[in-house]
Structure 1
Amino acid sequence: MQIDGITISALTREIERQVAGARIDKIQSPSYDCMTLSLGRGRAKPLLISASSRSARICLTDSVPPSLPTPTAFCMVMRKHLVGGKVVSVRQDGLDRIVIMRIEGWADASPADNKLLIAEITGRLANIILAQVDGTIIDAVNRVDQSRNRYREIAPGAIYVPPPPIEKPDPFDITADQFRAAIQRQSAQIQARAAYDEAKRGPVARKRRYSAAHLLSTCFAGIGQDHSEEIARRAGIGPERSPLDLAASDIDSLWVQFQDFRQAAADGNFLFEAAFDRKTGAPALLSVWGLSGLSDEYVVRRFASASEMIDSCYGRAEERERLESARRDIKRKVEARLARSLRKLEAQKSELSKAQDASALRRKGELLTANLHSLGRGPLRKDVVSVIDYYDPQTPTVEVEVDPGLSASENAQSFFALYSRAERAREAVGANIEATRDEVAYLESMLAMVEIAESESEVEEIVQELDALGFIQPRKEPGNGRKARKKRGRGAPIPAKFKAPSGHDMYVGKNNLQNDHLTMRLARAHDMWFHAKEIHGAHVIVRRRPNEELPDETLHAAALLAAYYSQAQMSSNVAVDYTEARNVRKPRGARPGMVIYGSHKTIWVTPSRDALSDALGLRTGTTSGSDD
C-alpha cells in the first residue's frame, strides 16, 4: 500500500477545494510526528498531517485522534505562527509527494508574515516543516543536520530545499514512442542486472524478483506500485510476468491503459478504491483509478473521496499498530507474572510433598511411647535407639534417631509437636496451592483476553482490571497518571453488539470486565448464554423473549462468536455450551469473568473470520461489532 504522486495530486485538489479561505482555529498533536488542524469553525473537516515513518499521510479526517496530554514543542511553534491564519492555497510540488500550504497571517499582518506549511509524505523520511514564505525554516518535526544529510539541512534558520528529485519522465508529457523507449530501456537495465546476478553472485545466490507489473513505477514519475500493478492488470499482464518476457503487443496494451489512467488523473476523474485482506482486514492496496482483477483473498471497498480512502486505510493501519503495541506491552507483563506464579506453584508443591511425610514423625513418637518401659526415664545419651515396631505383625526391631540429651518421653513429645506443625503446614500449603492455581488460571484467561481484544479500549479495560487486582504496575502516563486512568475507566464496560440474520441482538464480552457486566447485569434470566467449553473466552448473550425457541442459524452464529473470541479461535470442531442466563451464577469471591453454570446443551462449530461473516450476513468480510 503506497501513497504516490498521483494520489497526492488527488488529495491536493480535494484539500484545496475544502480548506482554501478557511481560518485555522486549533492545532493539536496526537503524537510527536502527527498534527491536526481544525479549520473554519466546522466549515471543513479537520486536516491531519502525519510524518510517521510507517503511515505518513495528509488528508481530511472524520475522526481526530486524541491529543497528547502535553503538546509537543513543534505543536506549540505551529500554534504560535498559524492559529488564526487563513489558508490561501494548497499545491503539490510537481509530481513529488510534497504538499505546500500557504497560510496568510492575521488581518493586520503584513504579507511577510505569511507562512508555508510543508508536508513531505516520503515514507520513512517523511517530515512536517514550517517555513517563512522566502523558505527560511522556522522549525520541523524531524530536524536534519548536515552530518546526516549533505544535500540539505532541515533546521531553524536554514533555507528549505526539497528532497533531491528522482530523474523520471513526466507521465503527462510523454508520447507513445517515448513510452515504448522507456519500457524497453528499463527492461534492458533489468536484463543487465539479472545477468550480473547470475555471473557475479552465482546460481545459488538469491536473485532479485523483477515483475513486469512494476515497470511503470520504475519508469515514470508519480506512479507507485499499486497504480503500476492496476494498469498492468487491465493490460492483461500479471505480477508473475517478467519484464524480459514482454512482447511488442504487451507494451502496446500497457500504453493504451496508461493513456486512460493519465487522462483520468488529468481530468480529476477519480475512482477511489482500496483492497483489504479478507482474513485479517488489513489494508493492502489503494488506487485513485479503481481496482480490478484482484483475487478472492481481497475485499475491495469504494470511497467517496481520496481523504476518506487514505483516512480509512492508514487510520486502520495505525489503529492495528497501536493495538499490537498495547497487546505486546500487557502480554509481556502478564506472562512475567504468570511465570512467577508458576514458579511459586512448583515451590508450594515441593513444600507439600515434604509435609506429606508428617505421618512418619507421628509413628516415631508412638514407637518411643510404646517402648518407654525398655528405654528408661533419663536421658537416652545416644543418637539412635532400637525399639520394637508393634505396628508390624512381625514386630521387628527398628532404629529411631533421637536427641541424646532428652528422655524417651521427651523425644516422643518432640516428634508429636513436629507432626502437629507439619500437619498445619500441609493444610496451609494445600490452601496456598489452590489459591496459586486459581491465580494461574486467571492469568491464563487474561492472556486469552489479550489475544481476542480488537481495540485499544478493550486492552485498556484489561489493564485496568489487572491494575485494580494488583497483578501489574500500569504504564506511567505523562501529565495524568493513575488518577486519569481511573477517570477514563469510569462507566460500565461496553460489550460488542452484533445482529443475527434472524434479527436477534447478540452481545459479546471481550474481557473479564465486559463478561461480568454482560452476564451478571445486562442479561435477563430468559436470555441465552454461550461460552466455549472448558477454555477461556468471551461470554455471549442472545436477547430473546421468554420461552422463545431460537432459530438454528442464530444458535450457530452465537456459537461461532463464542468460539471465535476464545482460546480456540484457530481450532476446528470447538465445543460451545449454551444455557439460559438464569442457570449461570458467580461464586462468592470469584475473580472477574469466572462463573459456573448448569442445565446446558452443547453445539460444535469451527470458527473463522469467513464463517463468522457468513453467519452474520456481513458482506465486507470484517467482524467488527458495533458498540451499543
Structure 2
Amino acid sequence: MLSLVKPMPVPRGFLHPCELSPCCFAQPSSIGCGGLSRVLTTRRAQRRCTGHIADEIRWSLLSFSSQWTPIKLKLSGNGFGSSVRSAKRHSPLRVCAKVQAMDYTVLKAVCSELSTTWTPAKMEKIVQPDRFTLLIAIRTLEESGWLRLCWNPACAHVSVGDPPGGAPSIAEAFSFGEQLRHLLKGLAIIEVRIPQELERVIELRLGARPSDPPSKHLFVEIMGRYSNVFLTNADMGVLACAYQVGSKMTSVRMVQVGGTYRMPPAAQGSFPSISMGMAEWKLITRATQEDKLQNSLIQAFRGVGPGLAVELISRSGLSPSMDPAAMTEDEWFSLHVVWLDWLRVLEESTFKPGLVRSTGSYSVLGGDGPYILSTDQDSEDAATGILAMLDDYYTRVYETEKFQQLRQQLVAKVSAATKKAQSKVNLFEDQIKASMEYSKISKMADLLMANLHVCEPGALSITLPDFETEEPTTIALDPRQTALVTAQKLYKRSQKLKKSEKAVAPLLAEARDELTYLSQVEVSLQQLDRYTRSTDLRSLEEVRDELVEGAYLKPIIAGTPPPSSKRKKKSSPLDNFAANMRRFTSPSGYEVLVGRNNRQNDVLANRVATEYDLWFHARNIPGSHTVLRVPPGQTATDEDLQFSADLAAYFSKARGSGKVPVSYTSPKYLQKLKGGKPGMVKVEKETVLLGRASDSPEGRQLLATA
C-alpha cells in the first residue's frame, strides 16, 4: 500500500524532482523488505518527465542522504498502473531485518583505521565467495587479515576480519574476482583515502612498493542499491567493475570497462564546518521546515545519515521526533555542542567503537556502551577496533539471512524427497503384497490341470474342490481358449509374481533406508531452527553439501561437475567437523559431543569416538549421535550415563515426548554400513536406558554453543 509523504526540500536554484520525473523515493529499510512505502509521486511528475535531469537529481539525492534511495515506478495513464516494479539490475540477498547503513562518518572511521593499521599491506589472495562480496587477504609487517568489500544493496560495507568457516579454498566462477586476481597480482595497498569529502566512496591506491606512485586504483562506492566496486589504471581508465553502469541505467554517469571513471555527482546540502556559528547552523537546520529534528539534520547537511542523526540527538538528551520549531535555546545549545564534538572527531579521527543502546545499532563515536563481539564461545569480548566491529555486525546480519533462506530451501527439498521416498516404499510394499499371491495362483493352475476332463468348452468359470480342504474354488476361464491354455497362463503368472518378489525386496529395503536417512536429515534441520552463531550456518552448509553429494540438490557453484559416486571425494579436515559439534559437560566433568547433522554424526561415530568412549542414540528413532568422552582409566558414573542419554533423547525426533528408550554401547560395536548414507551405522551389542526427551539442555553447562 502506498502512502504519500512530504517531499524533500531542495536548495535554492534546483528544481524539485517531482516536477521532473516519476522517480519516487523510499526508505532503504522498506526496500530491503521487498515493499515500497512512503512513496511520493504526482500527476505533474508524469506530464513533465525529462530523463537527463531526472537522472541528475536521482544521483544527487542518492549522495545527499543515506535515508532515501530512489526507485523507478512503472506508471500507467494519469495515475499508478496495475503493477509497481523496482528497476532491478541483479538479485541481492534480501535482508528483511532493518540493517544499519554505513554513512560518511563510518566510512571515515574505516579509512582512518585502514590507513593507520593496514597500510602498506601486501595483497596475497583474492576470493569472490558470492556475487556481492570480495575477500582480499592482506598482510602487513605485524599482522594479516581479510579485507571484505561488499556491495550487496541490502548491507554494503567495508571491514577486515576472518572469512566465515576459514579461508575459502574452492575455485569460484565469478568473473570479477578472476579479473582482479589477475590484474592485482603482486600489488600492495599503499594508501587508503576518501577522494571526495563527505561522499561515501573509498579509494585504495595500489602499487608494487610503498614508495612507488600508484599504478592502479580500487574505488569502493557504498551507496545502498547503487553500491559498486571499480578497478582503474593510473589514468582512471576502468579495467574491471562489479557491474557496469550503462546508458539504460543512467544518462548522467555511465561507468563501463574501457571508459573513464568519474566520481558520483556531489551531494546537495550545506557543508558542515566547525567554523559555522550556532545562529547560522540553527537557521540552516530550521530552513528545511521538517516537523522532526532527525529529518531536519539529515536534509540540511551533507554526510548526515539516520543513524548519526539519532545518535547525536540522543547524546544531547533530546528526542529525534521532536519539532525543531518548538525547541528552546537551551536545547539548541546542547545539540550544537554535540554537533561540534562530532566534527572534531571527524577532523582528528578519534573514532571509538561502541553501541547505541536505544536503537541497538553500532557507533564509531563510542555510543553509550561497549559493542560485544559474537563468538562461538560463551565469552563476551568488547570490540577494540572499528573494522572488527563492522565485520562482526555485517557478518551476523548476512549470515542470519543466509541461514534463514538456506534452511527454507533445504526444508522444502528434503520434504519433497521424503514424500517421494514414502511413495516408493508404498509402491514396493504393494508389489510385495501382490507377489505373495503366487502360491494361490499356482494351486489354481494345479486344480485346473488335474480336472481338464471335466472342463466344458466355452465355459466362463469352473468350481473345483481344493486338494487339501475340499472347499470349493472358483476359477475364471476364457471361453475362447481351452482349459489347458488357461492353466499355462496361470503358471506363467505365478512364476512372474514369484520372481518379482525377489526383485522388489532389495528395492524396498533401499527405499526404506533412504526414507530413514531423509528422516534423519529432517531431524537435523528441525534442530537447526534459528541462527545464533557462525557454527549454526556452517552446520547447515554441511547439510547442504551432504544433499548435493547425494544428488538431492544441484551444485551451488556454477561450473561444478555433478556429484558422482565413482569420483573419489576429498575428505574434509576432522577439526572442521568437530569444531561445529555441540559440546556439553557431564556431572563428572567429561566432555559430551552431539552431532548437528549426518556428516558430523558419521565423523563422531567412526573417527572421533575411541574405545574408551560411549556412544548413545535414541533407539529406532532418527536423532543425533552422542558420544561421552571417557578418559583412559576412568569410568562413567550412572549420572554421566543418564546425562548423555537425556541429550540423545532430546536431540532426536522424539523431543518433547517424555521418556524415550536410548541405546548406548562402546564404539567398537558400531559397524558402518558399506555403501550406506552418512551417519548410518549397525549396532551389534547395546544396552538400553530411558532418556528424558523433554529436558532442555539450556540449563546445562556448555563448553560451546548448544
Query: TM-score with structure 2 length normalisation?
Result: 0.66
**Residues 253 and 555 of structure 1: is their aligned pair in 2 closer, same or farther, counting only changes over 3 Å?**
farther
Deviations 1:399-455 (A, max 9, x none): 532144665466445435533433443465455334312212212323443565646
Q: CA deviation at 1:153?
A: 1.6
Matched, 1:494 2:582: no
Match of 1:222 among 289, 295, 303: 303
Paired residues of 2:648 and 2:662 also in contact (CA < 8 A): no
2:18 aligned partner: none
Q: Report 1:108-127 matches (<5 A).
A: 114-127=215-228
SS at match of 1:38: strand
Identical aligned residues as a percent: 20
Matched, 1:271 2:352: yes
- Paired with 2:493 and 2:232, the residues of 1 have a C-alpha distance of 83
1:13 aligned partner: 112
1:201 aligned partner: none
1:601 aligned partner: 690
Q: CA deviation at 1:526?
A: 5.0
1:341 aligned partner: 421
**Residues 421 and 601 of structure 1: is their aligned pair in 2 closer, same or farther, counting only changes over 3 Å?**
same
**Residues 382 and 130 of structure 1: is their aligned pair in 2 closer, same or farther, counting only changes over 3 Å?**
same
Deviations 1:271-328 (A, max 9, x none): 313699xxxxxx973221345489x9x9986211111112222234445566566656
**Residues 448 and 219 of structure 1: is their aligned pair in 2 closer, same or farther, counting only changes over 3 Å?**
farther
Paired residues of 1:131 and 1:160 also in contact (CA < 8 A): yes
- Paired with 1:365 and 1:67, the residues of 2 have a C-alpha distance of 65
Q: Report 1:21-420 matches (<5 A).
A: 22=120, 24-26=122-124, 28-31=126-129, 33=132, 34-36=134-136, 38-40=138-140, 45-63=145-163, 65-66=168-169, 68-69=171-172, 72=175, 76=179, 80=183, 83-84=186-187, 87-91=190-194, 93-104=196-207, 114-132=215-233, 135-173=236-274, 175-177=277-279, 188-189=289-290, 216-217=297-298, 220-234=301-315, 248=328, 258=339, 260-273=341-354, 285-292=361-368, 302-320=382-400, 334-335=414-415, 337-355=417-435, 358=438, 361-362=441-442, 364-365=444-445, 368=448, 374-375=454-455, 380-389=456-465, 400-404=475-479, 408=483, 411-412=486-487, 414-420=489-495
Matched, 1:537 2:654: no
Q: CA deviation at 1:5?
A: 1.2
Identify unmatched segments of 5+ residues in structure 2. 1-99, 529-534
Identify unmatched segments of 5+ residues in structure 1. 192-211, 277-282
SS at match of 1:29: strand
Matched, 1:549 2:647: no
Q: Report 1:478-517 matches (<5 A).
A: 478=559, 488-492=570-574, 494-495=577-578, 496=580, 498=583, 500=585, 503-517=589-603
Paired residues of 2:217 and 2:232 also in contact (CA < 8 A): yes
**Residues 504 and 242 of structure 1: is their aligned pair in 2 closer, same or farther, counting only changes over 3 Å?**
farther
Deviations 1:328-371 (A, max 9, x none): 66666555544443332343344345445556535644654675
Paired residues of 2:138 and 2:146 also in contact (CA < 8 A): yes
Paired residues of 1:27 and 1:83 also in contact (CA < 8 A): no
- Paired with 2:199 and 2:658, the residues of 1 have a C-alpha distance of 53
Q: Whose helix fraction is larger, Structure 1's or Structure 2's? A: 1
Q: CA deviation at 1:8?
A: 0.9
Range with greater deviation from structure 2 (170-179 or 503-512): 170-179
SS at match of 1:387: strand
Match of 2:496 among 410, 417, 421: 421
Q: CA deviation at 1:539?
A: 1.5
Q: CA deviation at 1:118?
A: 1.7
Q: CA deviation at 1:15?
A: 0.8
Q: CA deviation at 1:11?
A: 0.9
Q: CA deviation at 1:9?
A: 1.1
Range with greater deviation from structure 2 (9-18 or 503-512): 503-512
Paired residues of 2:613 and 2:627 also in contact (CA < 8 A): yes
- Paired with 2:299 and 2:568, the residues of 1 have a C-alpha distance of 53
Deviations 1:179-227 (A, max 9, x none): 65566555x5458xxxxxxxxxxxxxxxxxxxx7777555543343344
Paired residues of 1:274 and 1:313 also in contact (CA < 8 A): no
- Paired with 2:262 and 2:596, the residues of 1 have a C-alpha distance of 50
Paired residues of 2:228 and 2:243 also in contact (CA < 8 A): yes
Q: CA deviation at 1:67?
A: 6.7
Give the alignment's Cα RMSD to 1 decimal. Answer: 4.9
Matched, 1:439 2:514: yes
**Residues 517 and 101 of structure 1: is their aligned pair in 2 closer, same or farther, counting only changes over 3 Å?**
closer
SS at match of 1:616: coil
- Paired with 1:557 and 1:257, the residues of 2 have a C-alpha distance of 57
- Paired with 2:663 and 2:283, the residues of 1 have a C-alpha distance of 68
Q: CA deviation at 1:394?
A: 11
Paired residues of 1:2 and 1:286 also in contact (CA < 8 A): no
- Paired with 2:471 and 2:286, the residues of 1 have a C-alpha distance of 105
Q: CA deviation at 1:231?
A: 4.2
